Each structure stands twice: as C-alpha cells, then as structure tokens.
Homo-oligomer: A and B are copies of this chain.
C-alpha cells in the first residue's frame, strides 16, 4: 500500500496540514492551453476559476433538454447511480453520464473544458467521475462543507491532489438560490477529519455526508486564512466553474423558486490513477470512481 500523504478519518484528532502537491501542475507539453498566466496564478491562489458564458445560450438549451431526457429516463430506475432527494422520488443526481455513448460523452471531450484541465494538471487527463445534478427550488437541501479529495483519497485511493472538477452551470445561479460556496485558498491546506469511514459509506454519503466532514475549528481556520471571504459561484447559465479537487466547498439550502442544475465532470491526471482506498476498505463502485477506461481524452471541437 502506498504511503498515505493525507491521513484522515483514522480516529486521530482533526487537524489542518499543508498541501504536499502543487495546485497548478505546470508542464511545457501542456502550456499552450487556453489559460493566461494570470488565470493560472488565480487558480493557484484561489483554488478555482469561473468563466461566465463559456457555453452560449443555444448550447445551454441543448444541454438542458439532454439533462431533462436523462432525468426522465432514470426517473423510475433505482440503480445506486441514481440519487434521489431524501423522502421523495425527485432525482438529485445521475452518475456516469460521460459513458452515455451520446451527448454527454461528447461534451466530456469538448476542448473548451478538456484543454483547461490538461493545462492545470500538466498532463493528459481522463474522467474519474461525472454526474448531472438537479437541486430543486423551495426545498433544495444544503450540502455541508467538504473537500472532494478527502473522500476520493480515502474511499477511492486517489493518491495525489492532481484532479480538477468542472461544473457546467445550466441555470442562472443567484446569491439567493443556494449557489456553490468556496473558501478561496482552502485548497492549500488538507483538513484531516475526525471519525472513521463506515462500511459502504457511499450508500448514504451521497445524500448527506457524515464521514469526512471538517470540524468547526478547522473550517474557522480556513476562512480566517481567506480573510473572512467565502465566495459564491454566481453567474448566468453557460458559465463554467473549475475548482481544485481539494478546494473546500458547500452550499446552503435553496428556498427560492429557482432550481439549480449542472453537469459535473471530474478530470484526473493520467499520472494520478486510483489505487487501493486509503481507508483500507474495498473500492467504491465504478460509477463513483472510474478505474476501467482511463485512457487520455482526445479533445474535440
């Protein structure tokens, strides 16, 4: 078993450790990407980049009808890869959409997003996880603070912090409909979480995360490091948010009439493929953490 650079959930006291990997993995072979030096530095500093209208209105409406079609197709399916709101038949997420051999498979190869991921990770990339998210109006539940990497490391054996999430926003995100909140600079620190990983934790954690949740003191320290800033990913449909796998993020509930939906791709470096989970438990299912097709993506127009 590889050395665990980021121990967590091992019964120890919660603690905040320095990150042991670069945030921006520069490599000359991937430096001719779309990002300017300023944007690369901003990602290194804040742990995210938000591009307004990276996709135009026509493209967004096509994505929305594809999302609707996928939701309807899965409405009465009860697979583990279809997550429903607690106590209702409303779909919250559908996973592994990049394997739909259709629209989302092609979107996952779109050069506007793949080349950004390659440039940030300094290598070829593949999709380690993908899903569509639908957060209803009026009763959208909160999603508490978490680092995705903490889970992907513990439960999927992702060795290093060398992955980037890409959220294509399909609805206008306002201040008042529970937008994603990010703590700028939090990616530079790893919060080792208290507690341990329950067996088959994913069966519940996709609805409400209990393991791998940062304690209050660690969260306060991260926000203090950010000079009290908590930024929100607001913007029109078609905007795209790239955020580092370890950027602390969460969202409050959504009591507004406006639902929120997005397409979510996680690009991992081909040099950071999943190993045995550091939790010591069996790997999570393929739909959550791809181990099968991890060939480099060839970006398409």
Binding site for B on A (CB under 8 A): 137-138, 142, 144-145, 174-176, 178, 181, 216, 219-220, 223, 228, 230, 232, 250, 252-258
Chain B nearest Cβ from A90, distance in angstroms: 13
Alpha-carbon separation in the docked complex, A138 to B217 (Å) = 11
Nearest-CB residue, chain B, relative to A215: B138
Most buried by B among A178, A250, A252: A252
Most buried by B among A175, A181, A257: A257
What are 5 A-B pairs at a CB distance below 8 A? A142-B253, A144-B255, A175-B175, A178-B252, A181-B255
Contact status of A252 and B250, CB under 8 A, knowing A175-B232, A181-B176, A230-B176: no
Contacting residue for A255 out of B138, B145, B232, B254, CB 8 A: B145
Known: A138-B216, A174-B230, A252-B255. 11 other contacts (CB 8 A): A137-B216, A138-B219, A142-B142, A144-B255, A145-B255, A175-B175, A175-B232, A216-B257, A219-B257, A220-B257, A228-B258
Q: In the complex, which residues of chain B have a beta carbon less than 8 angstroms from the beta carbon of A175?
A: 175, 232
